[in-house]
Amino acid sequence: MSEKKGYNPHEFEEKFYKIWEERGYFEVDGNKNIQKEGKNFSIMMPPPNVTGSLHIGHALTFTLQDIIVRYKRMDGYKTLWQPGTDHAGIATQNVVEKQLLAEGKTKEELGREAFLERVWKWKEHSGGMIVHQMRKLGVSPAWSRERFTMDDGLKNAVKKAFVQLYDEGLIVRGNYMVNWCTHDGALSDIEVEYEEHNGKLYHIRYPLVDEEGCVIVATTRPETYFGDTAVMVHPDDERYKHLIGKKVRLPLIDREITIIADEHVDMEFGTGVVKVTPAHDPNDYEVGKRHNLEFITVFDEKGILNKFAGEFEGHERLDAREKIVARLDEEGFIEKIEEHQHQVGHCYRCHNVVEPYISKQWFVKKEVATRAIEKVNAGEAKFFPPHWINSYNAWMNDLRDWCISRQLWWGHRIPVFYCDECGHEWATSEDDPQSCPKCASSKIHQDPDVLDTWFSSALWPFSTLGWGNGDALKNSKWFEGDLSSFYPNDLLITGFDILFFWVARMIMMGEHFMGELPFKDIYLHALVRDEHGNKMSKSRGNVIDPLDTIEEYSADALRFTLAVLAVQGRDIKLSQEKLELSRNFTNKLYNAAKYLQMNVETFDNLENIEVKTPLGKYMLSRFALAVEETRSFIDQYRFNDAATTLYRFLWGEFCDWGIELSKASKTSVAELGAIFKEAMKLLHPFMPFITEYLWHQLSNTSVETESSIMVQPYPADLKRDEAIEKEFANIIEAIVSIRRAKATVDMPGKKIEIAYIKADEPMDDKLATPFIKLLAKTENVEFVDQKVKNAITDVSDHMEVYLPLTGIDLKPILERLEKQQAKLTKEVIKLSNMLKNEKFVANAPAHVVEENRKALEEAETKLKKVEAELLQLTQI
């Protein structure tokens, strides 16, 4: 025997992981000894931000990916799990800018080149912490292939993709209205997060120019009125038809604008008169184009009001709002101010209020997605759960041009150059062109902006396989044939919350550049919430840190808990209680192995032995069912069902029954040990550490000197023996039934003289008797064809059990049950009355009401059980 001491996960997890990684088990050929010809499997790791740290959502994604990867690897597939990190343009630049500010510096003082050197230095020393944290979870990607979205190869791929789209006319530059963050610059539509705000609706008087009176406009953003170039009414609004074509004067600045008519106006909202600010509202932008209005921008890229704001020039847009309103009110231009609830867009990174803003930006035209939409709907990629295709279609069919330029220094710089002499513009993959290709002038400059981070990560499924990498990685032999072997990827697993940020963009880019969709299957998991169903947040104080959880419970316990709760399409409610159950499962497995080794120290592999004993055949048959179900569930990405199957078999069937029954059949222990060893392989993808430990313990080997369980063949093709299963199902039913009957007469742990069994179908009494006698604690067992009188009876699905009452005093038992009945009756009445009280239900906290409902259900269940026992005993 090797180590005899108990299993300490912290002692073995780090050691095992280091051995696995050093031996190259995670790599494409790590399972070469069991690979089967023509079976390839690839999956891409959603590249976490280089600024990030492991959170519970990551833990779920990486756990599910690792389960499928370990399963495929053990099943003989040549498997690539491609890892890497994302440069996270906005987030990373913010980190380094804050460091500079703490030193009293700005990036502008350093200059672009020096700033980028600083960012790279930070990335090399502090970035990528999450990659080290992921190892704690036991994940097994091909770490030697780790990529970074700004490494040389991917940098070349990004340039190639941009230039190709540019040359095809699918990337264009122009003045568009974009979502603008005054801190982070241009944002795409899905980078704006909308929140309900309790704001105000300001009603402002705009005086008529040529006659008495005014029109009243309502706005939530009075600071933009300096950019009004029209006032608009509905052409069918009888209140204002006579004013169409007339002019009004803008308060404080006295600029005259025309009243126009447009069907865009909602006659029911506000006063039915709206201001038109084409440069600062997306709807007004379209109105401005329709009516050929002037576009006046009233603040700069930092949100500072300009000369068009008159006396408010130099003020920040939001800070100026109340000052402007106060001045309008002072001059008599405020009609009224109302409370108003409305949606306000915020930057997804810095949470700054986003402004609609006209800016010259680069865009990918929406036409790039046309074939991707068609192919997904033709079934070339499948969503799990399937309802996500509806969300995909809803977004893709309403797609707008994608703004891909960002006003940052950190990122993939846009590979477009401009000639200062002739004005020529061109895109090129060259790193540093020296002259204009049109006029040969050396006076050229590169576009200062960088690409949206999602542009480079949209290429991830194929750029990481070498597409467009050029000569950057020509010496990396593992790129040879990767595209043909691993594209399309077989599966994508990620959170539903980045369906549009990342998944949809990979689909459109993969189809465009490769001619095929990048994934065959797309599994979108839900959110991990706390035990009450609340979203985790630092402000709520309910964040569960996966690293702390691993420290307290083990990586296996966290992984198994996440898997068993990962029902497709349903949020996960994670609790300490569920983690403790998984830890208890680990302990149960350890104790089962310890018991087996008390009887037989070393166990052979299942394929090397012939299972002969009835108990061994029964447990092997149940294991065959577990193998069949586990495989089927993993293949369908029903991770929770697979984990539940493993739990049912290993705890409920093997430990609770197989091991207990073996106490009456010692000759079966060697067979059970071989089955348990094989079951560790079945469980390994879910709980890699404890299974590695126990597999070697039962083999009397060590992972330090022998091959790992992770490159052993996954269990398959075992046959069931339904006849033996039926025999043991009856034996177990008889034991449970006798135990129930004994509990009724307060003899659960005592040995009784005899138990009579009347089964619906004949039982093999020679097989059944030893097991029933030992586990039900009865001296004798007799199988009968008719009811036994003067006996306590237990009726189950397929049999009746009788325990003679000879020598049993029922009086104290009846007294105890009567007291229980009285107590439970009072409890039921009390809780029923409380829940019938409408005031209590209406005013008590929801969780208190729910607790009382559960307490009532439990009391009613107990009462029914007590009454049934009383009825039976009083009838005897």
The 3-class secondary structure across 326-364, one letter per residue, is: HHHHHCCCEEEEEEEEEEEEEECCCCCECEEEEEEEEEE
- Summarize the chain as % helix, strand, coil (round to 5): 45, 20, 35
Contact 82, 42 (CB under 8 A): yes
* Preceding peptide of 488 cis, ω within 30°: yes
Neighbours of 261 (CB within 10 A): 18
Amino acid at 582: S
Q: How far is the CA of 147 from the CAs of 46, 82, 305, 510, 713, in angstroms?
A: 11, 8, 44, 18, 29
Residues 6+ apart with CB under 8 A from 542: 530, 534, 536
Amino acid at 541: G
**DSSP single-letter state for residue 49:** B
Residues 6+ apart with CB under 8 A from 743: none
Amino acid at 394: A
- For the chain, counts of helices (H) and of strands (E): 28, 29
Q: How far is the CA of 120 from the CAs of 50, 106, 430, 471, in angstroms?
A: 11, 17, 22, 22
Q: How far is the CA of 226 from the CAs of 207, 259, 274, in angstroms?
A: 15, 16, 14
Q: What are phi and psi of 557, to 5 degrees?
A: -65, -45
H/E element, 57: helix 56-74
Burial (Cβ within 10 Å: 0-12, 13-18, ≥19) of residue 124: exposed
Q: How far is the CA of 467 from the CAs of 35, 80, 82, 149, 484, in angstroms?
A: 26, 16, 14, 13, 11
Nearest one of 317, 326, 214 to 273, comparing CA atoms: 214
Provide the token pair at 424.
């020529």
**DSSP single-letter state for residue 719:** P
Q: How far apart are the C-alpha atoms of 585 and 579, rounded to whole Å?
A: 10
Nearest one of 489, 425, 408, 376 to 174, comparing CA atoms: 425
Write out the E strands in 565-686. Answer: 572-573
Please compute Rg for the chain using Cα positions. 36
Q: Is the dihedral of CA 420, 423, 429, 433 positive or negative?
A: negative
H/E element, 689: helix 688-699
Nearest one of 318, 337, 313 to 252, comparing CA atoms: 313
CA 815 to centroid of chain Cα atoms: 55
Q: How far apart are the C-alpha atoms of 73 and 714, rounded to whole Å?
A: 9
Q: How far apart are the C-alpha atoms of 317 and 592, rounded to whole Å?
A: 69
Nearest one of 499, 282, 222 to 385, comparing CA atoms: 499
Instruction: Find out whether 200 is annotated in a ligand binding site.
Output: no
The residues pairing with 192 across neighbouring beta strands, listed in sequence order, are 347
Binding residue positions: 538
Binding residue positions for ATP: 538
